[in-house]
Copies of this chain bind each other. A is one copy, B any other.
Amino acid sequence: MDYVYGPGRNHLFVPGPVNIPEPVIRAMNRNNEDYRSPAVPALTKTLLEDVKEIFKTTTGTPFLIPTTGTGAWESALTNTLSPGDRIVSFLIGQFSLLWIDQQQRLGFNVDVVESEWGQGANLDILASKLAADTAHTIKAVCVVHNETATGVTNNLAKVRSILDDYRHPALFLVDGVSSICALDFRPKALEATKTAKSVRVFFDWNDYLKFYKLGTFWPYTHPSNCFMDLEQVWISFLRKDLTILAVEAWGLKNCTQKEEWFSDTVTAVLVPPYIDSSEIVRRGWKRYNLSLGLGLNKVAGKVFRIGHLGNLNELQLLGCLAGVEMILKDVGYPVQLGSGVAAACAYLQNNTL
């Protein structure tokens, strides 16, 4: 996949997959391991402890499942719910839409709460639904924490406190794929798995729990090379601020409608109607070896996205911003070259040690 003509490194500024730290790449540079050797449980144990630290829990039970985010969604749903169970789920962008599609196909009764794309989850509606549900027919509330399609971050603490206010026993299921953050709902989730009637085998937590007890940890062969990839991503408030300042300097609007929803990991930028944002992403690939995020579904053609999470630093981001400026000019937007970079530099220069 060294497909790009010309020298130098690819500039990877999508909201994921992210740039991998080099020590992690080096750690993965190895042969397969004998997965039944005594070394594997020893390593797995330290990994599970590390995962608990990332999730800020001391009592939760983490699972390392060799799958993708889509599989992790399925694992959370089928291990805690039974077919026909009522779920409240918020549709605010492409990834929440895909999760809801999965919820429906798995046979749950999904109560979809839609917001305009660019807005966060409508928590007023959640409150009224919970208030009305004295019979506790709602079994789970599902929220995508960080909707990277629109750059919206939902306020999880607020959701939790609404549930608590109504003393509602519904599970609170969070997609943290691009936020790596979670609340302490896990003990309750494990409780729920005992009564969940959804069909599952590959994703069944009970198989994991059985091998946890045996101390060998894995119900099936796992990809040992990837163990080394577990590393907390760096979320830079600074890099978010720099990106937002550049967007303002270019005279463009953020797709995310209120600052309280601004994501730390991705900024979705609205382009004027006479520009096709996909063309911006395509030119990034072709002319500058720069990878930006496409607009997805409802906002396709209308937004492009700058991911600023992962193993990145400020000068890398400034190179990306300079690239975006040239592309904007290419596609006919009257940007003043250097304006976004200058705005970001001015802020950075005053905020670096």
Residues of A within 8 A of B (CB): 1-4, 6-12, 14, 16-23, 25-40, 42-43, 66-71, 73-74, 83, 102, 105-107, 198-199, 201-204, 219-227, 234, 236, 285, 287-291, 293-294, 310-320, 322-323, 325-326, 329-330, 336-339, 341-346, 348-349, 352-353
| A1 with B43: CB separation less than 8 A | yes
Residues of B near A28 (CB, < 8 A) are 28-29, 225
Known: A3-B42, A17-B221, A345-B322. A202 touches B315 (CB 8 A): no
* A18 to B203 Cα, complex, angstroms: 25
Contacts of A204 in B (CB 8 A): 105
Checking B10, B17, B34, B226 against A12 with a beta-carbon cut-off of 8 angstroms, the contacting residue is B34
Q: Are A315 and B341 in contact (CB under 8 A)?
A: no
User: A17: which B residues are within 8 A, CB to CB?
Assistant: 32-35, 221, 224
Q: Copies of this chain, how many?
A: 4
Nearest B residue to A23 via CB reads B2
B8–A316 contact, CB under 8 A? yes
**How far is B314's CA from A219's CA once the two chains are assembled, in angstroms?**
32
Task: Pick the contact of A68: B19, B26, B83, B220 (CB < 8 A).
Answer: B220
Report Cα–Cα, A267/B242, bound state, in Å.
29
* Nearest chain B residue, comparing its CB with the CB of A323: B315
List residues of chain B with CB within 8 A of the CB of A68: 66, 202, 220-223
Q: Which of B26, B345, B349 contacts A26 (CB 8 A)?
A: B26
Residues of B within 8 A of A294 (CB): 36
Question: What residues of B have a CB within 8 angstroms of the CB of A201 in the complex?
Answer: 70, 74, 102, 105-106
Query: How close is A207's CB to chain B, nearest CB, in angstroms?
Result: 9
Q: Complex: how many Å from CA A291 to CA B38? A: 11
Question: What chain B residues lie within 8 Å of A289 (beta carbons)?
Answer: 313, 315
Identify which of B33, B338, B346 contacts A342 (C-beta below 8 A). Answer: B338
Which residues of B have CB within 8 Å of A39? 1, 3-4
Q: Which chain B residues lie closer than 8 Å to A73 at the CB level?
A: 202
